[in-house]
Amino acid sequence: MSGKRILLVIGGGIAAYKSLELIRELARRGIASRCIVTKGGQEFVTPLSVSALSGEKVFTELFDLDDEADMGHIQLSRSADLVVVCPATADLMAKAANGLANDLASTTLLATDKPVLMVPAMNVRMWEHAATQRNVETLRNDGVTVMDPDEGAMACGEFGPGRLPEPLEIAGRIEALLSDGPVLYGLDPKPLAGRHALVTAGPTREPLDPVRFLSNHSSGKQGYAIAGALAKAGARVTLVSGPVALQVPDGVDHVPVETAREMLDACQDALPSDVFISVAAVADWRPSRAAAKKMKLKEGGGDPHPTLELSENPDILATLSRKKKNRPDLVIGFAAETHDVDALAIAKLKRKRCDWIVSNDVSGDVMGGEMNEVALVTREGIEVRWPRMTKQDVATRLVARITEEFGDEADKIAAQ
Ligand code: CTP
């Protein structure tokens, strides 16, 4: 990690003293910290102690003649590989979520073009307040990594989530972001330039009649996050999506569809592509016959015992995987399982003949939620199991791994 540098924003909270431990732990790992201490932060730690530990000048004021001449706030926001806010107070997160910029910390967060990690710490009620949760969701949708606070007894005497995670854990997260991030954010900002990525996301809807359908709980969040991360990495992205309530990420071509058969057609039309990532929760069956008119209750003259006959939908992942012509170079599926997750994922990879499969356990709060816990399975078996993290983080890591794969492939061709 030597040579890496973070910009650490120390907010005003009782946990601010732990940021000193964090600076020391990062230094041990060869990561330098340049620090901003907010006004509130200075009530808990002094700029002098932060400077002594980081071995660097500490910044506190937006309108400081000397500091602006030395290192202006725009430069400060861009001179690091990663911006870390620790502790991230409710106030700092609210400002960042809404784009406010009225002090050095918030201005820096608005001006930065670097990835941002926020480590919240606050009273449990403040953390659980709808406004804070709304801000956290906005930040995560904006691509900010927000760690979950720890649960336990708090300085204020209450109990619950809101404690700052341990510095060791934060340092580990920083290290992971610094090692996965560079392909996406640092050294080569557009590693997938010139590549076409095809992604499916969301549920499909299979009509029963003009007003009713069969579907599932998929929110589309994981697929949209992957499409966004691919676009950030420079790929041309086609996102074929079932109906979801999400904003299409910047720079992504969106093809809206409803049914599995429409999704398959849209994917076929989008080929050729270098990589296909099948994240959609495609309905396995559709009603064999969709009624042309709204089905009626028996009082309205309808069938008193309607039965539903289902037909199997096409398997989009298997169809694209088995193509002789125009098969994408890298075909990645998702395996949503509720039991025997790994064994079933490996069997699914073989059955569908894809190159990789991301296995995830959907027995908990994954469908519709913010977090995911996945393992990446290749034809050789389980390559890596990632800890529970946001869907945005899963997207970042997966795209970093895809980039690596294409990089290796380019190296092999160059060596021939
Ligand atoms: N998939 C697909 N077309 C389908 C069904 C699934 O493209 N008709 C893709 C999904 O996008 C995912 C993978 O296949 O990448 C696995 O989907 P999953 O729902 O886990 O498995 P199924 O194939 O539906 O099998 P089962 O329901 O028996 O687990």
Query: Which of 13-27, 69-83, 173-187 shows the lowest per-residue confidence on average (mean pLDDT)?
Result: 173-187
Q: Which amino acid is at 274?
A: D
So which residues are the catalytic ones?
A: 156
Burial 181-219 (b: 16+ CB within 10 A, else e): bbbbbeeeeebbeebbbbbbbbbbbbebeeeebbeeebb
Query: Which of 5-9, 165-169, 238-242 shows the lowest per-residue confidence on average (mean pLDDT)?
Result: 165-169
pLDDT of the residue at 398? 94
pLDDT of the residue at 185? 46
The CB density around residue 41, as the number of other CB atoms within 10 Å, is 25
Residue with CA at minimum distance from ligand 1 atom 21: 335
Confidence of residue 124 (pLDDT cuts 50, 70, 90): very high
How high does pLDDT run on average in the chain?
90
Compute the distance from residue 351 Cα to the ligand 1 centre, in Å. 11
Atom from ligand 1 closest to the CA of residue 334: 15
Compute the distance from residue 333 Cα to the ligand 1 centre, in Å. 8
Q: Is the CB of 283 under 6 A from ligand 1?
A: no
Q: What is the mean pLDDT of residues 116-133?
A: 95
Domains of the chain by range and CATH? Answer: 5-178 (3.40.50.1950), 196-288+306-415 (3.40.50.10300)
Compute the distance from residue 184 Cα to the ligand 1 centre, in Å. 29
Query: Which of 71-85, 95-109, 226-240, 241-255 shows the lowest per-residue confidence on average (mean pLDDT)?
Result: 71-85
The CB density around residue 154, as the number of other CB atoms within 10 Å, is 21
Dihedral of the alpha carbons of 172, 178, 179, 181, in degrees to the nearest 10: 130
Pocket test for ligand 1, best of 200, 239, 284 (most atoms within 8 A of CB): 284
pLDDT of the residue at 366? 77
Quote the CA–CA distance of 347 and 186 in Å, as a whole number: 37
Q: Is the pTM of this model over 0.75?
A: no
Q: Is the CB of 282 under 6 A from ligand 1?
A: yes
Compute the distance from residue 335 Cα to the ligand 1 centre, in Å. 7
Q: Is the CB of 336 under 6 A from ligand 1?
A: yes
Pocket test for ligand 1, best of 217, 312, 315, 350 (most atoms within 8 A of CB): 315
Atom from ligand 1 closest to the CA of residue 280: 11
Confidence of residue 309 (pLDDT cuts 50, 70, 90): very high
349 pLDDT more than 50: yes
Encode pLDDT of 245-290 as tens digits: 999 998 899 999 999 999 999 999 999 999 999 999 999 999 999 9
Compute the distance from residue 294 Cα to the ligand 1 centre, in Å. 30
| Per-residue CA distances from 51 to 20, 33, 36, 72, 244 (Å) | 10, 10, 10, 18, 48
> How much of the chain, in percent, has pLDDT values that exceed 70?
93
Q: Is the CB of 278 under 6 A from ligand 1?
A: yes
Pocket test for ligand 1, best of 278, 350, 372, 377 (most atoms within 8 A of CB): 278
Q: Is the CB of 313 under 6 A from ligand 1?
A: yes
Q: Is the distance from CB of 279 to CB of 218 less than 8 angstroms?
A: no
Encode pLDDT of 17-43 as tens digits: 999 999 999 999 899 999 999 999 999
The separation between CA 154 and the C-alpha centre of its own chain, rounded to angstroms, equals 29
Dihedral of the alpha carbons of 353, 346, 393, 336, in degrees to the nearest 10: 90
Quote the CA–CA distance of 76 and 318 in Å, as a whole number: 49
